[in-house]
Amino acid sequence: MALLNIENLSVHYGLKTVLHNLSFTVNAGEGWVIQGQSGAGKTTLGKAVSGQLRSTGQLKIDFNPQSPLPAEVLFVESWYRFTNLEGDRNFYYQQRYNHYQRKDTITVAHELEQYGKEQGLNKERLEELLTTLNYREVLDEQLFEISSGEHKKLQLIKALWLRPQLLIIDQPYTGLDVKSRANLNALLNNYTTAGGALLLISNDTGLPECISHFITLKEGRIVPAGAVLSTTERPAKPLPSFLVTPPQYTSRDIIGMHDVAVRYDEKYVLSNIDWQVKAGERWLLQGPNGSGKSTLLSLITADHPQAYANHITLFGVKRGGGESIWDIKKRIGLISPELHWYFDANATVAQSLASGFFDSNGQYQQLRYAQKQQLEELLKFLDLFDLRNELLTTLPLGKQRLALLGRTIIKNPQLLVLDEPCQGLDQQQTQYFNHLVDLISKNGVTIIYVGHFESQLPSCLTHKLVLAQGKMILNESF
């Protein structure tokens, strides 16, 4: 039975046409994937189908009155947007680590309880989802405390608990570890078997078995089935001159941790961490969702107040030895999904990159001449120069990530902390960025790189640290 019928659908942003005369039909019980490079129009299509954007042409949804599934369309965004108890989103990046502010948002359990009441949902179904996606451990956490992968799981649990007749998920695998992806695929297979129609917006491999139809978009148009997509290789460019110069190290000891532990009340998030990082080493940090990776990184980036209660040295100086947070941050370039959430929505692309000089979430200071030269050189290197005056938030997600990746390297720091840096990037952009990391590594920069998949990593990595349940289970050199 045809659930969704689209004929000559177009979407316009002002004078710009983003989608051009799309036509396709989706039946109940089918699984579809919408794929294409960043900026091709994938998210725009999902929002148009769900009624969030105005479109022209025909978009007809015929719900089945006999279906046990609700006669609804649900669009799951690429990341979760939540509010505090006052109903706004005025959060800041370090807030999730400040225990005294833990009452600013509701807990995960309360969020699910409210959602279930609003939708009139069965609690037994929720229990099954919590078990399958291994989500019980975070139920008592505040919404702003959980990681990007845990936020994605919350989105997925709510969607699969509701089980609408048409479900659209933007970037379903963002932040999920290997096991969680496999468990999600099993849930999606069950959903289509029950009669739900599924549209995944994703360039990922390892899709569920229920996926039988593909739409590939290029510049807002559907690429005909069987057509070979030409992938334009980025021309080889010389590395910006300021990134060829080795970082100015103040110590050969970058990170030193001895018996480090972090706990909230009686719950340990990290325990018995012994870790040393020397200048020039390039570490891969891995572990399943909820293993403590984000908390470990927050101790390094001077964002976690419990660093002072532990034996931690950064850049040769023990925490609490008189150095300021900004003394530490000026030596570090950071990108993470959480930093992206809290970034200044009014910043242009150029301001976003320039903010890396000041470790801020937007550019609030004037640049010196040399800094302006570095900014221009990096914008051109990343193919963002023509977009420099555009608001960061108006760019496709992939290009937003590239701009923030540029922010991490603009000051040629001693330490790069790259926490899942390729979230939201398509395969070509991922390869491009990892190649960039390999190039930069030649100047001797120290790197900590968080990534779940071995096939999506730079080749320069030399060491590996793996966490599970807040403890080290592997610490080795390659």
Q: What digits encode the pLDDT tens for the residues 227-248?
A: 655 555 666 688 899 999 999 9
> What is the mean pLDDT of the segment spanning 175-179?
90
CATH 3.40.50.300 holds for 241-477 = yes
**What are 21's two structure tokens?**
């005369």
Q: What is the pLDDT of residue 256?
A: 97
Alpha-carbon torsion (371, 377, 378, 379), positive or negative: positive
Q: What is the pLDDT of residue 411?
A: 94
Considering the entire predicted model, what is its pTM?
0.87
Burial 163-202 (b: 16+ CB within 10 A, else e): bbbbbbbbbbbbbbbeebbebbbebbbbbbeebbbbbbbb
Burial 68-87 (b: 16+ CB within 10 A, else e): ebbeebbbbebbbebebeee
Band of residue 146 on the pLDDT scale cut at 50, 70, 90: confident
Distance CA 326, CA 245 (A): 23
Distance CA 304, CA 257 (A): 14
Domains 2-222 and 241-477 share a fold: yes
3-class SS shares of the chain: helix, strand, coil, % to 5: 35, 25, 40
Share the mean pLDDT of the chain: 90
What fold characterizes domain 2-222?
A: Rossmann fold (3.40.50)
252 contacts 417 by C-beta, under 8 angstroms: no
**pLDDT tens per residue, range 84-128:** 544 444 444 444 555 545 555 689 999 999 999 999 999 999 999
> What is the mean pLDDT of the segment spanning 158-177?
95
**pLDDT tens per residue, range 36-48:** 988 899 999 999 9
Statement: residue 81 has pLDDT above 70: no
More confident residue, 66 or 339: 66
> What is the mean pLDDT of the segment spanning 336-358?
89
Band of residue 172 on the pLDDT scale cut at 50, 70, 90: very high
> What is the mean pLDDT of the segment spanning 262-287?
94
Burial 441-476 (b: 16+ CB within 10 A, else e): beeebbbbbbbbbeeebbebbebebbbeebebeeee
Q: Please state the domain extents for the chain.
A: 2-222, 241-477
